Amino acid sequence: GENVEQHPSTLSVQEGDSAVIKCTYSDSASNYFPWYKQELGKGPQLIIDIRSNVGEKKDQRIAVTLNKTAKHFSLHITETQPEDSAVYFCASRGSTLGRLYFGRGTQLTVWP
């Protein structure tokens, strides 16, 4: 089955700096890559996603890039704010419908 690896496991940045989280996947049939933000005591929130026919997608301070050849995708957060502090999960969807494969998560802490 699909294997998704996510790095780093923890990331601390100063407010205003950028943060980058990277994921790799193994299944070349994977075609959809969402990112979820999970705050303490809450469910995961879909914040951005990208499909395999696109290389980059932006939504205000958040962007995701995808390199299908290298099988990796990244989340970029610019001008970080303390409210960006949360656990971020990358995921991929391969050939099994409805099944998302998650990375192990990154705890992002933004210091004021």
Partner 1 sequence: DTEVTQTPKHLVMGMTNKKSLKCEQHMGHRAMYWYKQKAKKPPELMFVYSYEKLSINESVPSRFSPECPNSSLLNLHLHALQPEDSALYLCASSQVETAYEQYFGPGTRLTVT
User: Please, what is the minimum distance in Å from the beta carbon of residue 57 to partner 1?
Assistant: 13
Q: How many residues does the chain have?
A: 112
Contact residues: partner 1, CB under 8 A:
32, 34, 36, 42-46, 49, 51, 89, 93, 96-100, 102-105
CA torsion, points 6, 70, 31, 86, in degrees to nearest 10?
20
Beta-ladder partners of 75: 21, 64
CB of 58 or CB of 99, closer to partner 1: 99
CB of 43 or CB of 112, closer to partner 1: 43
Distance CA 62, CA 90 (A): 14
User: Please, what is the minimum distance in Å from the beta carbon of residue 102 to partner 1?
Assistant: 4
Three-state DSSP state, 84: helix
CB of 57 or CB of 78, closer to partner 1: 57
Q: Which amino acid is at 52?
A: S
User: Please, what is the minimum distance in Å from the beta carbon of residue 62 to partner 1?
Assistant: 16
CB of 41 or CB of 112, closer to partner 1: 41
Name the burial class of residue 26, with classes exposed (0-12), middle (13-18) and buried (19+) by CB atoms within 10 angstroms of its CB. middle
User: Please, what is the minimum distance in Å from the beta carbon of residue 96 to partner 1?
Assistant: 8
